[in-house]
């Protein structure tokens, strides 16, 4: 049933009080908001009820102040307390300076690594003993007698005595090498044609023979080596020269 003019005027005044008054509460009532908009549109359009145009009382001064002080609707960026992030400030430009220094840094690091590698290699080289004599294959003179090896050993190696290669003399000892079947390689020490010591190994292991210098059998001074009696002497053959290493003992030990 259509509202009466007096009822419409009163309704509009009440809705405005709820919308613009000091105790405004219309924001929680969608139907009241729609009705207020309908009545205000009717007023602006000059529509009349049966009793004439709708008379609208101006809001009280305190209501007008409330309307003027009412905050503007929040923007979409502030809905539900979510704000659009502010534009990030551009970081200081430091990349160009770093790029200019990068080649120097790389060169410096490479230099440090090179020096460290060289120091390590030098330390490794100095920490390993070096041979005092290296004996290559040489022709035996007529005064050098081929050692009389056991026939069983020659048969085991599958060689004859002529397969022995002379390496020279260390003190009073003659040094020989021989390679046999089954990848055997042997070091032989002799004196005046008599077998004095021998050692064999299977490749790829090197052949090694250790002795202790004495006053009679191994007078290393006769070979130009200043080796006191009691020194430890190692013969090492790895397929090339026979290398002689010495660990010197105290004189007359």
Q: How many angstroms separate the CA atoms of 7 and 2, rounded?
A: 10
* Residue 106's pLDDT band (cuts 50, 70, 90): confident
Place of tokens 């230099």: 111
* pLDDT for position 181: 87
Q: If you average pLDDT over every residue of the chain, what do you get?
A: 76
- Residue 74 in this model has a pLDDT that exceeds 60: no
- Residue 48 in this model has a pLDDT that exceeds 70: no
- The secondary element (H helix, E strand) that includes residue 13 is helix 5-20
pTM > 0.85: no
pLDDT in tens, 24-37: 888 888 999 999 89
User: Is the pLDDT higher at 109 or at 212?
Assistant: 212
pLDDT in tens, 192-241: 889 999 999 999 999 999 988 876 656 555 556 667 778 888 999 998 99
DSSP 183: T
Q: What is the CA radius of gyration of the chain?
A: 56
DSSP assignments along 32-58, one per residue: HHHHHHHHHHHHHTT-EETTEEPP-PP
* pLDDT for position 172: 82
- The secondary element (H helix, E strand) that includes residue 194 is strand 194-202
């Amino acid at each position: 049933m259509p509202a009466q003019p007096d009822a419409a005027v009163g309704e509009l005044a009440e809705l405005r009080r709820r919308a613009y008054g000091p105790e405004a509460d219309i924001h929680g009532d969608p139907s009241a908001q729609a009705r207020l908009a309908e009545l205000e549109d009717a007023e602006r359009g000059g529509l009349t009820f049966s009793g004439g145009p709708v008379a609208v009382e101006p809001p009280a001064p305190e209501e007008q102040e409330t309307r003027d002080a009412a905050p503007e609707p929040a923007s979409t960026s502030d809905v539900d307390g979510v704000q659009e992030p502010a534009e990030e400030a551009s970081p200081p430009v430091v990349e160009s300076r770093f790029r200019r220094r990068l080649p120097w840094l790389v060169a410096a690091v490479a230099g440090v690594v090179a020096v460290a590698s060289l120091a390590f290699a030098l330390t490794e080289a100095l920490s390993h003993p070096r041979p005092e004599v290296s004996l290559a294959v040489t022709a035996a003179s007529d005064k050098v007698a081929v050692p009389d090896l056991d026939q069983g050993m020659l048969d085991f190696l599958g060689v004859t005595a002529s397969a022995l290669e002379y390496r020279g003399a260390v003190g009073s000892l003659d040094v020989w090498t021989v390679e046999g079947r089954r990848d055997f390689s042997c070091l032989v020490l002799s004196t005046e044609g008599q077998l004095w010591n021998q050692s064999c190994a299977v490749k790829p292991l090197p052949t090694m023979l250790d002795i202790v210098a004495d006053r009679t059998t191994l007078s290393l001074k006769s070979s130009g080596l200043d080796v006191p009696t009691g020194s430890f002497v190692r013969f090492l053959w790895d397929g090339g020269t026979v290398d002689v290493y010495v660990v010197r003992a105290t004189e007359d030990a």
